[in-house]
A and B are shown apart, each in its own frame.
Chain A
Amino acid sequence: MINAFLVFNGQGQPRLTKFYTQLDTSIQQRLISEIFTLVSNRAPGSCNFLPLPPLLAASSTSNTSSSAQDQNDVPSFVTYRNYATLYFIIISTSTESPLALIDLIQVYVEALDRLFENVCELDLIFNYETLHATLGEMVVGGVVIETNMERIVAGVKAQGTVAKRPVNEGRGGGGLGAGLGAGLGMGGMVWPGTR
Chain B
Amino acid sequence: MFEKSLYDLIRGLRNHKGNEKEYIQTSLKECRSEIRSQDMDVKATALLKLVYLEMLGHDMSWASFHVLEVMSSQKYHQKRVGYLAAVQSFRPDTDVLMMATNLLKKDVAASLPIIISLPIGALPHIVTPSLAMSLLGDLLPRLGHSHAAIRKKTVVTLYRLALVYPEALRASWPKIKERLMDPEEDSSVTAAIVNVVCELGWRRPHDFLPLAPRLFELLVDGGNNWMAIKLIKLFATLTPLEPRLVRKLLPPLTNLIRTTPAMSLLYECINGIIQGGILGDGEDFSAREEVASLCVTKLRGMVSASSDPNLKYVALLAFNRIVVTHPFLVAQQEDVILECIDSEDITIRIKALDLVQGMVSSDNLVTIVSRLMRQLKASSTTLNQQQNGLEGQGLETDSSDEGSADSKRRRKALDRAPPLPDNYTVDVIGRILMMCTQNNYANIVDFDWYIDVISQLLRVAPAPRAKDLDGGLSPLKVPGDISEKIGNELRNVAVKVKAIRAVSVRAAELVVSRMGSEISLSQPVVSGALKPIAWVLGEYASQLLSPDDSLRYLLDIVPRIGDPEVLATCLQAVLKLFAHVSGDDQALWTSERKSTVSLLMARIIHVLEPFSSHPYLEVQERAVEFIELLKLTAEAAAGQATSTDEVQQDPPLLLTQAIPSLFAGWELNSVAAGTQQNVPVPDDLDLDEPIHPNLNSLLAQADSLMLPVQGDDEFEAYYNEKPPATSMSSEPAIKRLVDAPEEVSSSYQQSEESYLDSDIIARRKAERMERYRDDPFYIPDSTASGGRSTPIHNILQKENGPDLDIDSIPIMQLDLDKPNPQGRASPAQHQQQQLRPKSKPNQRIVVAADETLGGSGLSTPRTTTYDSEHSSEPSLAAKSRTAVAKKLKQHSLLQITSSHLSDLALGEEGAGQSGGGGPLAHERQQREEAEMAQALKEVQRLRLEMQRANERIQIAQGVPVEGVVVRKKKTTKKVVKADEGQREEGIRGGEGLPEGEGVKPKTKKKKKVRVEGQEGAGGGNGEPVVKAKKKVKKVVQLNEGEGAAAAAEGQ
Contact = CB atoms under 8 A, between A and B. Distances in A.
B229 A22 contact: no
Interface in A5-45: 13-31, 38, 41-43, 45
Interface in B264-317: 264-268, 308-314, 317
A145 B344 contact: no
B159 A141 contact: yes
A146 B192 CA distance: 7
B860 to A, nearest CB: 15
A29 B57 contact: yes
A178 B198 CA distance: 39
Interface in B610-633: none
Nearest to A28: B57
Contacts of A41: 418, 421
A107 B946 CA distance: 68
B795 interface: no
Contacts of B81: 129
B257 interface: no
Contact of B198 (A30, A62, A95, A147): A95
Q: Which of A30, A65, A69, A99 has the most CB of B within 10 A?
A: A65
B345 A56 contact: no
A85 to B, nearest CB: 14
Contacts of B424: 51
A68 B477 contact: no
Interface in A53-68: 54-68
B809 interface: no
Contacts of B229: 97, 100, 194
Given A65-B885, A141-B159, A51 B870 contact: yes
Interface string A67-88: 1111111110000000000000
B609 interface: no
A140 interface: yes
A39 B643 CA distance: 74
Given A1-B896, A43-B417, A129-B81, A68 B264 contact: no
Contacts of B268: 97, 99-100
Contacts of B892: 56, 59-60, 63, 74-75
A55 B347 contact: no
A91 B894 contact: yes
Contact of B474 (A59, A174, A191): A59
B308 to A, nearest CB: 5
B195 A144 contact: yes
Given A64-B872, A128-B52, A48 B310 contact: yes
Interface string B883-914: 01110101111111111000000000000000
Given A99-B310, A100-B264, A195-B226, A65 B878 contact: yes
B248 interface: no
Contacts of B202: 69, 72, 95
A159 B80 contact: yes
Interface string B839-861: 00000000000000000000000
B137 interface: no
B10 A125 contact: yes
A13 B56 contact: yes
Nearest to B89: A25
Contacts of B57: 14, 25-26, 28-29
Contacts, number: 283
A73 B898 contact: yes
Given A22-B125, A41-B418, A126 B195 contact: no
A141 B157 contact: yes
Nearest to B479: A58
B156 A143 contact: yes
B264 A191 contact: yes
B14 interface: yes
B346 interface: yes
Given A14-B56, A140-B153, A129 B347 contact: no
B264 A66 contact: no
Given A21-B896, A74-B895, A98-B313, A103 B54 contact: no
B872 A66 contact: no
Interface in B200-225: 202-203, 225
Contact of A58 (B48, B149, B476, B894): B476
Interface residues of A, number: 95
Contacts of B156: 140-141, 143, 145
Interface string A128-160: 110011001100111111111001000100111
A19 B83 CA distance: 15
B305 to A, nearest CB: 12
A63 B891 contact: yes
Given A62-B476, A65-B881, A98-B314, A55 B153 contact: no
A61 B477 contact: yes
A62 B125 contact: no
B893 A47 contact: no
A26 B61 CA distance: 12
Q: Which of B153, B157, B424 has the most CB of A within 10 A?
A: B153
A97 B159 CA distance: 20
B125 A20 contact: yes
A23 B61 CA distance: 12
Contact of A192 (B124, B262, B312): B262
A22 B92 contact: yes
Contact of B77 (A26, A56, A128, A160): A160
A102 interface: yes
B264 A103 contact: yes
A4 interface: yes
A71 B479 CA distance: 21
Contacts of B477: 58-59, 61-62
A50 interface: yes
Nearest to B202: A72
Interface in B367-389: none
A145 B192 contact: yes
A66 B870 CA distance: 13
A191 B121 CA distance: 31
Contacts of A141: 123-125, 156-157, 159-160
B423 A47 contact: no
Contacts of A23: 91, 893-894
Contact of B347 (A47, A60, A64): A47
B80 to A, nearest CB: 7
Interface in B51-103: 52, 54-61, 76-77, 80-81, 84, 87-92
Interface string B338-351: 00000011111010
Contact of A46 (B191, B261, B317, B347): B347
B871 interface: yes
B114 interface: yes
Contact of B867 (A24, A65, A103): A65
Contacts of A147: 191, 226
A142 B124 CA distance: 8
B457 to A, nearest CB: 21
B264 A145 contact: no
A67 B156 CA distance: 26
27 contacts: A16-B55, A20-B896, A21-B896, A25-B54, A25-B58, A25-B59, A26-B59, A27-B473, A46-B344, A47-B310, A47-B345, A48-B309, A49-B313, A57-B869, A58-B476, A58-B869, A59-B892, A62-B477, A64-B872, A65-B878, A97-B230, A100-B229, A125-B10, A137-B149, A145-B192, A148-B188, A159-B114
Given A65-B871, A99-B314, 7 more contacts: A31-B893, A46-B346, A48-B310, A61-B477, A62-B885, A97-B230, A140-B153
Q: Please list the 3 inter-chain residue pairs (A to B) with the smallest Cβ-Cβ separation, ordered nearest first.
A: A141-B124, A191-B263, A99-B264
Interface of B: 6-7, 10-11, 14, 48, 52, 54-61, 76-77, 80-81, 84, 87-92, 113-114, 117, 120-121, 123-126, 149, 152-153, 156-157, 159-160, 188, 191-192, 195-196, 198-199, 202-203, 225-226, 229-230, 233, 261-268, 308-314, 317, 344-348, 350, 417-418, 421, 423-424, 470, 473-474, 476-477, 479, 867-872, 874, 878, 881-882, 884-886, 888, 890-899
